[in-house]
Structure 1
Amino acid sequence: MLTITQATYDAIVAHARRDHPDEACGIVAGPEGSDRPERVIEMINAAGSPTFYEFDSTELLELYKEMWARDEEPVIVYHSHTATEAYPSVTDVKLASEPGAHYVLVSTREHGNDEGPVEFRSYRIVDGEITEEEIRVVETLSSTES
């Protein structure tokens, strides 16, 4: 199960809406080994595409250096789908290189940049296997939650 704060949920959804019609992408970092998504980092979609996302390699390298210095790891890797459901594509599965991460997808296909419900789903992707997981949204993460 993925447990995230309402603020993290809102930040991911706002980023997805803002970048629509292009796919948005980013990482939520947390303390190493904690499974606590605490710090939302919006990334640039280097592909600038409505059907594909790609992290900018220089930006990603700098982020990893920063996370290592802060004893953090990517707890969530997120991106949006602008015209399809929030389910990992074949390409998404191939790009899933963090076996411990939660892969969050947000579909903005119904309302685009406008207010309205979005499809927000989380998956574990390990060795090409996709497993959907429950999401629990809370106001704050307690020190025992992960």
Structure 2
Amino acid sequence: MLRIEQKTYDAIVAHAKRDHPDEACGVVAGPEGSDRPERFVPMVNAASSPTFYEFDPTDLLKLYRDMDARDEEPVVVYHSHTATEAYPSRTDTGLAMEPNAHYVLVSTREHGNSDGPVEFRSYRIVDGQVTEEEVSVVATIEQLRSQD
């Protein structure tokens, strides 16, 4: 199960809506081994595409160095789908290289960057196997931390 703070959930959704019609992407880092998504890090989709996302290699290297210095790891890797459901494509599955991460997909296909609900789903992707998981949104970061 992915447990995520409301503020982080809202930030991911806002990023997906803001970048529509292109796919948005980013990471939510957390303390190593904690499974707690705490630090929202929106990234630029270097592909600038409505059907594909790509982290800029320089930005990604900088992020991993920063996480390493903070004893963090990517707890959530997220991106949006602009015209399809929030389910990992074959390409998404092939790019999933963080076996401990939650892979969040947000579909903006119904309302684009307008007001309205989105589809927000989370998956574990290990060795090409996709498993959907429940998402629990909590009000505060303290509620996330109290579950340790």
Please indicate the TM-score interval, normalised by the length of the shorter structure: over 0.9
8 Å Cα contact 1:36-1:145 kept in structure 2: no
RMSD over equivalenced CA pairs, Å: 0.8
Report the counterpart of residue 41 of structure 1 in structure 2.
41
8 Å Cα contact 1:80-1:107 kept in structure 2: yes
* 1:1-146 equivalent positions in 2, closer than 5 A: 1-141=1-141, 142=143, 143-145=145-147
CA shift digits 1:93-131 (9 cap, x unpaired): 000000000000000000000010100000000000000
Q: Percent identity?
A: 76
Q: CA deviation at 1:144?
A: 3.2
What secondary structure, in the 3-state scheme, does the structure 1 residue paired with 2:78 have? Answer: strand
Rounded Cα–Cα distance in structure 2 between residues aligned with 1:88 and 1:52:
11
* TM-score (normalised: structure 1): 0.98
Q: CA deviation at 1:140?
A: 1.4
Letter in 2 for 1:135: V
Gaps spanning 5+ residues in structure 2: where?
none
* TM-score (normalised: structure 2): 0.97
Q: CA deviation at 1:15?
A: 0.1
Q: CA deviation at 1:39?
A: 0.5
Rounded Cα–Cα distance in structure 2 between residues aligned with 1:93 and 1:79:
12
CA shift digits 1:63-115 (9 cap, x unpaired): 00000000000000000000000000000000000000000000000000001
Which runs of at least 4 in structure 1 moved beyond 4 Å after TM superposition? none
8 Å Cα contact 1:3-1:145 kept in structure 2: no
